[in-house]
Structure 1
Amino acid sequence: MQCRSGCAACCIAPSISSPLPGLPLGKPAGVACPHLDAEWRCQLFGSPLRPRVCAEFQAEPAICGSHRDQALQIITLLEQSSTPE
């Protein structure tokens, strides 16, 4: 599966514990990565500054669903289920 243009659910819903440029402590869940442009594309794509977890993410139907809103819901639920209370 190829990433859907303009989706960016994987750059919004999950937390990222790796440091990012401008975010030395990572990114909280539910917050859009500051490196997304106006079309929801990653401005760090292909850069050595891009966190490894981002570079290794592979789009797949079980995570991305059939549209952006579904991807946001699925990834948010996965994030919530993996966060200890």
Structure 2
Amino acid sequence: MSRRAFKSVTIFCIILVITGVITVNNSMPKFIKDKSDFSIDFNINPFNFTINTKNYSIDFGRGGLYNFKNISFQFTQNVYNGVRD
């Protein structure tokens, strides 16, 4: 098997496993998610992808990606200005 075919099969398997984890975790009842240390909430319309762990929550919906983009752009501008000065 060539390297390219091996990489393609590996990437396909990883995507398949991640999709399965998201689907199973998203279909669990809310009372189980509330007691769990790790949960995923996913909706397509309106787009919402939230990962909740015991201490942290990552939200990619409701403008989360937009805010992340603005914060990262401002951070890189501040670093660039600091290096230039």
**TM-score, with length taken from structure 1:** 0.22
Larger Rg: 2
More strand as a share of residues? 2
More helix as a share of residues? 2
**TM-score, with length taken from structure 2:** 0.22
Greater relative contact order (CA < 8 Å, ≥ 6 in sequence): 1
